[in-house]
């Protein structure tokens, strides 16, 4: 429900792109509930890939939607994203709420419009994870050179458009530090929504390990594949994305690719897995919380948001993104996976939840709008 102060305002929601229900879209879904009459702006929309709550919106897309192969190869048009997001005319709105991990925060508001942005991360492919996304040998030299040439422009644009945001919110202390470093702005941490109501421990454990999520470069699915090829242990991977073809090409016989699964099947996999493998550096990371809610420990790279969601009593950390480091962590898990106890998982989960996120977002938006309005 919309906060009473904000009733009657014309509201626009802005999200980078709509291509699947991942962590950012789960945040957007809650924003749609808070503002049921809001219009939704996005660079592109793959119809049928989102929840009904999002699909039922009035969705306005940019010219990227209509470019050749724009719906599938949209990342190739990254240099055009700033232009595309700036072409949205939001002059008729009283309130803009952007959900941003790329360019959504860069929309142009009127001086009479309040803009609050929930940042999942600053544009990671031009800042700290540039080499992860454009690393050799998987990125061709022409693409790498092109990315190097565009990087200064995109960094300047990303930094300068932070001035268009009146209030910053973010998903973790990890991202709060990055917003301060790159934009010179303070932000309030609101942990993203994790609907833990449908996740619960199962009765039995199997001998496989599990990965869940997008095949994005920062997720380092390739690292897990190489490690489990060496270990000769079963690894099940649920998800899809740009690195899927490559990861399939290097996978040995103990690696199983499951694609996108139903909620019921995913729950079963979480419950029976020996551990969740999380080898990437993520801004926050919802899947480790889902795994812990199912009584499943986590093996994670010790960086990013996972340091706020996993403890040494609910999982294991490895300190280098190298095959040998992950292999060693899995070998330790093989010996101690039975020592993790349900009480510790529940203690860790108590700080997170969908209802908590919704309540905090409503309060932050209402408070921010009131403070901003008093200046006029």
91-125: pLDDT as tens digits: 999 999 999 999 999 999 999 999 999 999 999 88
pLDDT score for 136:
53
pLDDT score for 375:
82
Torsion of CA 136, 23, 54, 101, to 10 degrees: -50
CB neighbours of residue 279 within 10 Å: 24
Model confidence band, residue 170 (pLDDT cutoffs 50, 70, 90)? very high
Q: How is 30-53 classified by DSSP, letter by letter?
A: HHHHH-TT-EEEES-B-TTSS-HH
SS3 61: strand
Examine the pLDDT at 157 and tell me if it is beyond 90. Answer: yes
Q: What is the CATH number of domain 196-349?
A: 3.40.50.2000
Whether the CA torsion 94, 100, 104, 106 is positive or negative: it is positive
Kindly state the average pLDDT of the residues 172-190: 95
Ranges in the chain annotated CATH 3.40.50.2000 = 196-349
pLDDT score for 138:
64
64-81: pLDDT as tens digits: 999 998 888 888 899 999
State CA 35 to chain mean position distance.
21
Q: Enter the DSSP assignment of 18.
A: B
Examine the pLDDT at 300 and tell me if it is beyond 90. Answer: yes
Pick the CATH number of 4-193+353-373 from 1.20.120, 3.40.50, 3.30.460, 3.30.230: 3.40.50
Examine the pLDDT at 4 and tell me if it is beyond 60. Answer: no
pLDDT score for 284:
83
Kindly state the average pLDDT of the residues 284-311: 92
Q: How is 244-309 classified by DSSP, letter by letter?
A: HHHHHHH--TTEEEEES--HHHHHHHHHH-SEEEE-S--SS-SHHHHHHHTT--EEEESSGGGGGT
Examine the pLDDT at 174 and tell me if it is beyond 80. Answer: yes
Instruction: Spell out a b/e string for 81-110, using b for 16 or more CB atoms within 10 Å of the CB, else e.
Output: bbebbeebebeebbbbbbbbbbbbbbbbbe
Question: Above pLDDT 70, what percent of the chain?
Answer: 96
Model confidence band, residue 310 (pLDDT cutoffs 50, 70, 90)? very high
């Amino acid at each position: 429900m919309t906060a009473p102060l904000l009733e009657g305002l014309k509201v626009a929601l802005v999200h980078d792109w709509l291509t699947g229900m991942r962590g950012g879209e789960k945040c957007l879904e809650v924003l749609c509930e808070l503002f049921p009459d809001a219009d939704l702006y996005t660079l592109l929309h793959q119809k049928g890939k989102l929840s009904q709550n999002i699909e039922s919106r009035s969705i306005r897309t940019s010219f990227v939607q209509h470019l050749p192969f724009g719906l599938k190869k949209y990342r190739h048009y990254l240099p055009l994203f700033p232009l595309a997001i700036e072409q949205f005319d939001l002059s008729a709105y009283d309130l803009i709420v952007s959900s941003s991990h790329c360019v959504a925060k860069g929309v142009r508001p009127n001086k009479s419009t309040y803009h609050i942005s929930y940042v999942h991360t600053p544009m990671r492919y031009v800042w700290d994870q540039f080499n992860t996304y454009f690393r050799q040998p998987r990125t061709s030299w022409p693409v790498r050179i092109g990315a190097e040439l565009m990087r200064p422009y995109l960094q300047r644009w990303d930094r300068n458009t932070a001035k268009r945001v009146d209030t910053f919110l973010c998903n973790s202390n990890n991202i709060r530090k990055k917003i301060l470093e790159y934009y010179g702005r303070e932000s309030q941490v609101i942990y993203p929504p994790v609907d833990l109501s449908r996740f619960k421990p199962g009765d039995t454990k199997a001998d496989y390990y599990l990965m869940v999520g997008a095949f994005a470069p920062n997720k380092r699915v390739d690292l897990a594949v190489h490690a489990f090829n060496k270990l000769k242990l079963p690894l099940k991977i649920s998800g899809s994305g740009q690195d899927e073809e490559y990861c399939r090409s290097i996978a040995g016989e103990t690696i199983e690719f499951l694609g996108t699964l139903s909620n019921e099947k995913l729950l079963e996999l979480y419950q029976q897995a020996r551990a969740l493998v999380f080898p990437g550096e993520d801004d926050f990371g919802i899947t480790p919380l889902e795994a812990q809610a199912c009584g499943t420990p986590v093996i994670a790279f010790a960086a990013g948001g996972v340091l706020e969601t996993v403890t040494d009593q609910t999982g294991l950390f490895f300190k280098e993104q190298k095959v040998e480091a992950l292999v060693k962590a899995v070998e330790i898990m093989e010996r101690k996976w039975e020592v993790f106890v349900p009480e510790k998982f529940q203690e860790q989960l108590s700080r997170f939840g969908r209802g908590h996120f919704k309540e905090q977002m409503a309060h932050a938006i209402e408070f921010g709008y009131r403070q901003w309005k008093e200046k006029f």
